[in-house]
Structure 1
């Protein structure tokens, strides 16, 4: 199988992919026939836990789908998850999309791994993509990110912004993927503060089925607990649950750091935007678009596609005017970027 170590710059960079992803709703599709003929209906995505409207991970994927639809003028589909669904349910969803003629078909989230491994080999003429996991297959593109690098930058920002020398991290589910966010963040805080700033960490649940990525109330309670312990900057990597973290921070008039999308710009979070200092960006939309473009160009990507700081696959937002007003913050982040891309700074993943 052809392996590709890093994505070519066909992907739209984080800074340039300024796509609004605020649409909410249930399952949607522009396909009118679904008759399984040879017509390529275009891109289809199957959402992760939390679905469209999370103002974060899934909405970033939807932004990529919308860009592909607008540019290529074809039909698309985006499918919501169901509560308590099994791998068999995911298999059926992916197979149905491929059978109808969508290409590529993308599973948004590592939870689609087993289902994609089972389905992709049955539809060799369809390109499949999976976000945040690696699945072997000649017709599968694994879209993975250097989350730890963006999180390191978030840690630099937190260390510069804190006045109490205590900051927080709230992870949605206690899994290796989210450990990458925590590890990078802690390292960024430590390197910037010389160990003077304390990081409080909490995971909401042990499994996704318990609602770690889909329970704003859990996120709010966790953030409130950290704020009571003097955390005045709280970074969340918790999907839909992160909205609760942001709400708690805003009500306490301390800073939150968003994740995946530029959450300062999200309409649903507008009431709290003053307190969203920055967001650790993950260009899921760019990855989705890049795979769709490769199929449209007749040269479908396959193998592991890595989005890191060098290709603008991850980054840190600067939308909040307060970002530029905090002494030394912007310069420290730029220096950290140079250190990471130049190889001087090796960011931990665990």
Structure 2
């Protein structure tokens, strides 16, 4: 297995118990300062999206927030991982197991959990839930949505791509053709066209719902990137979870520019060998959302409703590792100012 199972030094209750959580691919990272007999009393359950901790992208960003909650809030945490191709009932059972074992709050990483969170939260009104990247008008009041303006950060990525492209052709690779990932595409294209209205943007989606494997298939990401490289793309932005790792490999091997997503991918250990070809990354500060929500819960005043982390509030940004975008700082700052002032309205859906 890619990741080892670590058993928690905590007392777990309920008939399902630790064995049930372990069967769901979960692992505990109990903070030694928060034992069964004391500690902060804060027990956070996290249910990851496909790819889990170690994806070098979206889930890892959430994991950093959880690690901060352990270190700074003294939280006991449990991490439950998703499986590619799992059924909706698997997601529900994962959340139920966390409830049974006393975790509160429970944070679901990714819009794929929306239905499961709604159902389990409705059945457990005394437990607080947070879901990242989804906001539904039908979810119960004990669910908080933590969302981001991905289109704004992607707009800046588009500005960078068009500014650096020599061929006049750039690419976008989306993991799953969903409303969320279309926000990345829409912003990226709009940003690129703000620099070069005639730029050619190639778009490829790896899978369509209900197939979410497009977020966890580096082979597909590599193949899609190679297809775009063959068509002349010299900058490729992949919003595809760990599938984007394959895209980065293909682009770097070809000596072109890759743009990472969610985490600063040039600084991720598994991708550092490609850092000279990672132009930038559109960083989505999921870690900030996870920590802020966890702290608000511990402080007794949990964030409720829909909390949006935007460009103005540093919810999204561009990574500067490697200094590859230093020469276009003025362009990027101008675009940032236009967005944060409201002068530029970034589309959230691809324009026909």
Match of 1:212 in 2: 214
Q: Deviations over 1:126-165 (max 9, x none)?
A: 2100011114222111011100000000000001111111
Match of 1:295 in 2: 297
Q: Distance in 2 between matches of 1:345 and 1:26?
A: 47
Q: Distance in 1 between matches of 2:193 and 2:233?
A: 15
Match of 2:165 in 1: 162
Q: Distance in 2 between matches of 1:77 and 1:29?
A: 9
Match of 2:3 in 1: 25
> Is the partner of 1:311 in helix, strand or coil?
coil
Q: Distance in 2 between matches of 1:349 and 1:89?
A: 31
Match of 2:102 in 1: 101
> Are 1:41 and 1:101, in contact at CA under 8 Å, matched by a contact in 2?
no
Q: Distance in 2 between matches of 1:134 and 1:28?
A: 32
Match of 2:44 in 1: 43
- Over the aligned positions, Cα root-mean-square deviation in angstroms equals 1.7
> Is the partner of 2:185 in helix, strand or coil?
helix
> Is the partner of 2:104 in helix, strand or coil?
strand
Match of 1:76 in 2: 77
How far the C-alpha of 1:28 sits from its partner, in A, is 4.9
Higher relative contact order (CA 8 A, sep 6+): 1
Q: Distance in 1 between matches of 2:346 and 2:84?
A: 35
How far the C-alpha of 1:31 sits from its partner, in A, is 5.0
Count of aligned positions: 323
> Are 1:28 and 1:79, in contact at CA under 8 Å, matched by a contact in 2?
no
Match of 2:336 in 1: 337
Runs of 4+ in 1 over 6 A off after TM superposition: none
Q: Which 5+ residue runs of structure 2 have no aligned equivalent?
A: 15-35
Q: Distance in 1 between matches of 2:303 and 2:238?
A: 31
Q: Distance in 1 between matches of 2:165 and 2:303?
A: 42
Match of 1:142 in 2: 145
Distance change (3 Å), C-alpha of 1:216 and 1:269: same
Q: Distance in 1 between matches of 2:240 and 2:11?
A: 37
TM-score, normalised via structure 1 length: 0.89
> Are 1:26 and 1:80, in contact at CA under 8 Å, matched by a contact in 2?
no
> Are 1:45 and 1:77, in contact at CA under 8 Å, matched by a contact in 2?
yes
> Are 2:85 and 2:213, in contact at CA under 8 Å, matched by a contact in 1?
no
> Are 2:84 and 2:212, in contact at CA under 8 Å, matched by a contact in 1?
no
Q: Which 5+ residue runs of structure 1 have no aligned equivalent?
A: 1-23
Match of 1:183 in 2: 186
Decide which moves more: 204-213 or 247-256: 204-213
Q: Distance in 2 between matches of 1:300 and 1:27?
A: 30
The correspondence of residues 171-320 of structure 1 with structure 2, limited to 5 A, is: 171-193=174-196, 195-207=197-209, 209=211, 211-320=213-322
How far the C-alpha of 1:197 sits from its partner, in A, is 1.7
> Is the partner of 2:237 in helix, strand or coil?
strand
